[in-house]
């Protein structure tokens, strides 16, 4: 009997955390209570990712479109972010997790920016485990910002327009220096990517689960990783080429 071989663990998992509002509504609670429970899930998932061996976990915490939500929900989310950063700093240091952010974070409230800088600075020397928070993030804005930065680099003579390639351009994305996600998970049964890491997920496997984010736990993350392990990533090659390693 052949052995199953070592489990395939994705290096980078990106998650669209969805369903906080529905979780709260089903219990007759205010939406913010769903977000509050969602923050607890963030802690659970960051710990579970490390236990599984996932080195990078990126969470879509606040999109550019989320500013359009009712003002009390937006300020509630900012308050939760501030609370999370204050509460998690010691834990992240203890577990040697580096915090990164992607998105236009300069538009976040000043107190949140201060906490983000503090936590990023205190964890910047860690390399093994990485938590990436997408905040005021939108993939199309990211491309526009990168194009502007790239054009400025061309004008300043640091890049040549004729040398443009994905390898060179992608360094100007917010994710420059981070590996592409191998697996994208969306909770709550929705099957959309909602302007999240559109270019970086070009080859990502996608897993959609009906579980609402506040109910998502270690077993659900493990199930998504198991599903990823069963998929064959071909990058345009044939199954035969993958098996034989032929070019
Ligand atoms: C989607 O649920 C969730 C969000 C827009 C926010 C996600 C934020 C958190 C989990 C808390 C803050 C995060 C951190 C990292 C501290 P929804 O409100 O769209 O749910 P619904 O579709 O059921 O209404």
CB 139 within 8 A of CB 195: yes
**What distance in angstroms lies between residue 234's CA and the mean position of ligand 1's atoms?**
33
66 carries an active-site annotation: yes
Backbone angles phi, psi at 139, to 5 degrees: -65, -40
13 ligand 1 Cβ < 6 A = no
Range of the domain at 120: 12-137+179-232
pLDDT at 2 over 60: no
CB 34 within 8 A of CB 22: yes
pLDDT tens per residue across span 102-138:
999 999 999 999 999 999 999 999 999 999 999 999 9
Residue 103 belongs to a domain = yes
Instruction: Tell me the CA distances in angstroms from 208 to 19, 30, 123, 190, 228, one per residue in order.
Output: 12, 25, 31, 7, 12
Residue 227 belongs to a domain = yes
pLDDT at 235 over 90: no
pTM for this model (two decimals): 0.94
CATH number of the domain residue 91 falls in: 3.40.1180.10
18 ligand 1 Cβ < 6 A = yes
Residue 194 belongs to a domain = yes
Higher pLDDT, 240 or 18: 18
Number of folded domains in the chain? Answer: 1
Residue 82 belongs to a domain = yes
Residue 158 belongs to a domain = no
Backbone angles phi, psi at 26, to 5 degrees: -60, -20
CA distance 41 to 49: 12
Instruction: Tell me the CA distances in angstroms from 184 to 33, 37, 128, 176, one per residue in order.
Output: 25, 21, 20, 18
Ligand 1 atom with minimal separation from the 133 CA: 15
Residue 159 belongs to a domain = no
């Amino acid at each position: 009997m052949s052995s199953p071989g070592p489990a395939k663990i994705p290096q980078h998992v990106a998650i669209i955390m969805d369903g906080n509002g529905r979780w709260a509504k089903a219990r007759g609670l205010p939406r913010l209570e769903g977000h509050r429970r969602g923050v607890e899930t963030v802690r659970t998932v960051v710990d579970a990712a490390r236990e599984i061996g996932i080195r990078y976990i990126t969470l879509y915490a606040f999109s550019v479109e989320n500013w359009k939500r009712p003002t009390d929900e937006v300020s509630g989310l900012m308050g939760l972010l501030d609370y999370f950063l204050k509460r998690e700093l010691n834990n992240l240091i203890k577990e040697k997790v580096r915090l990164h952010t992607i998105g236009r974070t300069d538009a976040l409230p000043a107190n949140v920016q201060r906490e983000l800088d503090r936590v990023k600075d205190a964890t910047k020397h860690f390399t093994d485990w990485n938590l990436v928070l997408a905040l005021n993030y939108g993939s199309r804005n990211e491309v526009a910002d990168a194009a502007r930065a790239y054009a400025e680099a061309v004008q300043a003579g640091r890049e040549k327009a004729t040398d443009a390639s994905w390898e060179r351009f992608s360094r100007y994305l917010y994710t420059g220096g981070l590996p592409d996600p191998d697996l994208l998970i969306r909770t709550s049964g929705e099957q959309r990517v909602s302007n999240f890491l559109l270019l970086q997920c070009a080859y990502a496997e996608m897993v959609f689960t009906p579980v609402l984010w506040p109910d998502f736990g270690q077993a659900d993350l493990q199930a998504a990783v198991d599903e990823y392990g069963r998929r064959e990533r071909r990058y345009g090659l044939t199954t035969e080429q993958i098996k034989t390693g032929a070019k």
